[in-house]
């Protein structure tokens, strides 16, 4: 796992340009209007998190938090996954990723999405702000279980008979906009 674009902290991010192998996707994001109208100074994402999940690995339910503008674009490579969405009781989790707890995992998800390899997933607005998202630590996904909202459209061909998908290694590229950026020049002038 690594991040590109800079390290995000409370004070902001000391930005550095994303490498070409990530920024080559920007025209596609623009065509699809993914980050359109988010922020006057940022038309393209300035931060990317690259994650590798081996089969059986997941991520605890969490919100991505206020360091980013509330749109996230995720490109999935190699293997599918099922992303689950949870509504926090009373929505008291104020968007802090650190607030992830075992208690969150105990809840049942409200809905899920089947995320196919080579797909782009865009989460914004309420789904970003009000729901937590997570990936269960399992090696197989039974598509008959849970409330998978994008079925049958996202169902891979040929699995209608036995809709259990075995997970392989998944790589995700998660693009976001960090609004608060600090240039090294500004930092230097502050001293």
Binding-site ranges for ligand AKG (CB under 6 A): 49, 51, 59, 64, 74, 133, 172, 174
51 makes contact, choosing from ligand AKG, Fe ion, none, with CB < 5 to 8 Å by partner type, with ligand AKG
Taking the C-alpha atoms of 99, 104, 109 and 114 in order, what is their torsion angle to the nearest 10 degrees?
Answer: 60
Given Fe ion, ligand AKG, none, residue 49, with its beta carbon under 5 to 8 Å by kind, binds ligand AKG
- As beta bridge partners, residue 58 has none
Cβ proximity of 115 and 56 under 8 Å: no
Cα–Cα distance measured from residue 84 to residue 113, given in angstroms and rounded to the nearest whole number: 7
Give the pair of three-digit tokens for residue 65.
Answer: 């938090």
Q: Which of residues 135-174 bind Fe ion (CB under 5 A)?
A: none
Using CB distances below 5 to 8 A depending on partner kind, what does residue 4 bind out of Fe ion, ligand AKG, none? none
**Shortest Cβ contact with ligand AKG: which residue?**
172
Query: CB of residue 118 vs Fe ion: minimum separation in angstroms?
Result: 20
Q: Is 64 in the site for Fe ion (CB under 5 A)?
A: yes
- Contact yes or no for 5/180 (Cβ under 8 A): no
Tell me, what DSSP letter sits at residue 99?
G
Interface ranges with Fe ion (CB under 5 A):
64
């Amino acid at each position: 796992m690594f991040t590109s674009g800079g390290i995000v902290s409370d004070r902001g991010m000391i930005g550095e340009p994303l490498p070409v192998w990530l920024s080559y996707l920007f025209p596609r994001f623009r065509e699809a209007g993914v980050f359109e109208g988010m922020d006057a100074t940022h038309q393209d994402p300035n931060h990317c998190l690259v994650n590798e999940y081996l089969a059986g690995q997941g991520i605890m339910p969490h919100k991505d938090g206020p360091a980013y503008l509330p749109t996230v674009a995720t490109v999935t490579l190699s293997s599918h996954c099922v992303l689950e969405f949870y509504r926090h009781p009373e929505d008291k989790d104020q968007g802090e990723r650190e607030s992830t707890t075992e208690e969150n995992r105990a809840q049942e998800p409200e809905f899920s999405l089947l995320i196919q390899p080579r797909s782009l997933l865009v989460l914004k607005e309420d789904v970003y702000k009000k729901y937590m998202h997570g990936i269960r630590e399992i090696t197989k996904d039974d598509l008959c279980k849970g409330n998978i909202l994008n079925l049958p459209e996202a169902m891979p061909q040929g699995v209608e008979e036995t809709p259990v998908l075995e997970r392989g290694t998944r790589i995700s590229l998660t693009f976001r906009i960090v609004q608060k950026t600090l240039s090294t020049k500004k930092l230097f002038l502050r001293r």
